Chain A
Amino acid sequence: MTPARVLVLAYGNPGRRDDGLGPACAAAVERWQVPGVTVSSDYQLTVEDAAAAAQHDVVLFVDAACAGPEPWALRALGRSTEVAAARRTGGVGFSSHSAAPEDVLALAALLFNADPAGYVLAVRGYEFDEFGEGLSPAAGRNLAAALAALEPMLRNRTLGADAAPADRPVAAAAGSGTDR
């Protein structure tokens, strides 16, 4: 059986401290060289990411989170066609030049007749408002925890094996809280 084609779409601005969690995660995943796993890193998601998403079976979006569980959380978005159906009935509200993960998935279905499954890995960060390179120490620890969990998921293709409903977390790390 051919292993699922996985696209890791990580995004954020490394010049805004913890907003760079996504690109830092992408750099680490790229170093692992997992067969069948493609890595893309950008400042933010945009509509053309839908074209790449459409060529994969699974899309893992990786972003910094300014609120929510520590050190990380993984959320299942569902399949593109499901997300598209939900978005067409009022799921889209606030948006900007950047696209939401759900938009990218929905566009993959609506424009390219693809049906990848989507997940969001949200790594908790703390410092976003100033220019500066490098993660805060706490965000760095959260990233390390996320990577430790992510590597076997990608190598063994167990990402989403226990997929929960789209609005429920698949997994949230049992972090012990984070010292900043």
Chain B
Amino acid sequence: MVASTSNGLKRVVIEPVTRVEGHGKVTLLLDEQNKVHQARLHIVEFRGFERFIQGRPFWEVPVLVQRLCGICPVSHHLAAAKAMDRIVGGEQLTPTAEKMRRLMHYGQFFQSHALHFFHLVSPDLLFGFDADVAIRNVIGVAAKYPDLAVQGVMMRKYGQEIILRTAGKKIHGTGAIPGGVNKNLSIAERDFLLKDAEQMLTWARGALKLAKDYTLAHLDELRDFGSFESNHLSLIGASGELDLYHGGLRAITATGEKIFDHVDYQRYLDYIAEEVRPWSYMKFPFIKSLGPERGWYRVGPLARLNTADRIDTPEAEAARQEFMAVTQGKPNNISMAYHWARMIELLHSMEKIHALLHDRDLQGTDLVVRGPRREETVGLIEAPRGTLFHHYVVNKDDQIVRANLIVSTTNNNEPMNRAVQKVAQDHLSGRQLTEGLLNRIEVAIRAYDPCLSCATHALGRMPLEVELLAADGTRLDRRSRG
């Protein structure tokens, strides 16, 4: 809808955004010349979680946090488990425990990235941003490109099979426990997963090729689409390699200069702060040394490819070099390059899965370690959507007394607002909300694969309604989807 504000600016509201999790609403603030002055992406973030877990015993937390999100419960499970490792003094995991967790984590990446690419993104890429929404969806892909759609379904299913066999259950997994894991991978489970591993590698290569070819073929158009310069942040391995499970924090500028490197994430509060803005429930994290104006950053696949010096699996490393060549080795700041980066990680995850399945440590029986107890702890992990922070304080009775989470989508809050603003500035013409503009705003937001409001979805909760009102509040237009 369009409505006037007291300072003469006009508001254009788009609510909610399609094909991202939960509810999102976009407000475009226009100036007197009907140019976009500011974009605001409103997100209904989860509330009440800290209260939900206060007083609960710490060992329950890795299971409880899975209630946060129906899309990435494994990421929350592992971030919380990493935090609780420190409570029991067990952060130096046994080889079996660390490899079981990594296998679970790569399985989660594989299914999450496959779902996003085939189910949510491929319709935009295969049919074009301006294609009729009636066919620009997963059913349209299934009808016209059934082989591709089957691959997406089966890759997602394969990732879920890994999660089932490492976490013990498909939902509410209990595999990771403070100081280790509660199961290893049996030979039968290993052989079951190995059966389809080669096929998954082949399909992952195909998905990467599709994303790469699309990006290169449309580079002139995409280079500017919702794009902007930003800092980038991620975990990084000890020798600068991409590491999705563990490492230190690295932040770089838009041109690649290091802001900080190999930072122990137990001290993240020395480096990261969160700004509160009155119009949003969701906070805006920033790098303290740069301040809120200049210190915001991107996370997720694009940021990880930009911060990494290399990838430790051969095919993904070759793909990374091709990716970085597009920007002459400098950080890539093209929002739509997220998809290419995501598919490089898809292949990397499958390479890792393939290697781990041949590692006999997964059949080891030394599963848990213990050491000196602590009362405050931080667990960090790279979730599919980006860096995920879990911070807890535990009392002497083993109860949680305080918790703070910065989820991946919160880390990308400012970048998503910038992407929407850029698209709106480039494509809003006059006072009409066109289908083309709506599509492009959605495409820009989807590049970040946000998880907007985790884990409720009861029937009847997902309308899409767009209203266009005159400056005096008169409705000029109304659009709805769903």
Is A33's CB within 8 Å of the partner chain B?
A: no
Is A136's CB within 8 Å of the partner chain B?
A: no
Is A35's CB within 8 Å of the partner chain B?
A: no
Interface residues on A, range: 35 or more
B window 392-442: CB within 8 A of A: none
Is B481's CB within 8 Å of the partner chain A?
A: yes
Is A14's CB within 8 Å of the partner chain B?
A: yes
User: Which chain B residues lie closer than 8 Å to A129 at the CB level?
Assistant: 47, 456
B19 touches A110 (CB 8 A): no
- The 9 A-B residue pairs whose C-beta atoms are closest, nearest first, are A15-B67, A94-B482, A43-B70, A131-B52, A90-B134, A93-B482, A48-B157, A93-B481, A110-B142
Interface residues on B, range: 35 or more
B112: min CB distance to chain A, Å: 9
Is A44's CB within 8 Å of the partner chain B?
A: yes
A85 to B21 CA separation, bound complex (whole angstroms): 26
A68 to B460 CA separation, bound complex (whole angstroms): 9
A130 to B149 CA separation, bound complex (whole angstroms): 36
Stretch at the interface among A95-103, A156-164, A166-174: A95-103
B window 106-126: CB within 8 A of A: 115-116, 118-120
Can you report 7 residue pairs joining A to B where beta carbons are below 8 Å apart? Answer: A43-B71, A44-B457, A66-B461, A91-B134, A96-B18, A125-B458, A130-B48
A97 touches B451 (CB 8 A): yes
Known contacts: A14-B67, A111-B146, A128-B458. The answer to whether A41 contacts B138 by CB under 8 A is no
A51 to B51 CA separation, bound complex (whole angstroms): 39
Is A29's CB within 8 Å of the partner chain B?
A: no
User: Which chain A residues lie closer than 8 Å to B135 at the CB level?
Assistant: 88
Known contacts: A87-B139, A94-B481, A97-B120. The answer to whether A107 contacts B70 by CB under 8 A is no
Question: Which A residues fall within an 8 A CB radius of B?
Answer: 11-16, 18-19, 41-44, 46-48, 50-51, 63-68, 84, 87-99, 103, 106-107, 110-111, 120, 122, 125, 128-132
Is B357's CB within 8 Å of the partner chain A?
A: no
Known contacts: A15-B455, A95-B18, A97-B451. The answer to whether A84 contacts B70 by CB under 8 A is no
User: Which chain B residues lie closer than 8 Å to A19 at the CB level?
Assistant: 455-458
B window 42-68: CB within 8 A of A: 46-49, 51-52, 64, 66-68
A104: min CB distance to chain B, Å: 10
Known contacts: A66-B460, A66-B461. The answer to whether A46 contacts B156 by CB under 8 A is yes
User: Which chain B residues lie closer than 8 Å to A41 at the CB level?
Assistant: 171
A42 to B157 CA separation, bound complex (whole angstroms): 13
Given contacts A51-B153, A97-B451, A99-B138, 17 further A-B contacts (CB under 8 A): A43-B69, A46-B119, A47-B115, A48-B153, A64-B459, A65-B458, A92-B137, A93-B133, A96-B18, A97-B21, A97-B70, A107-B138, A111-B146, A125-B458, A129-B47, A131-B48, A132-B48
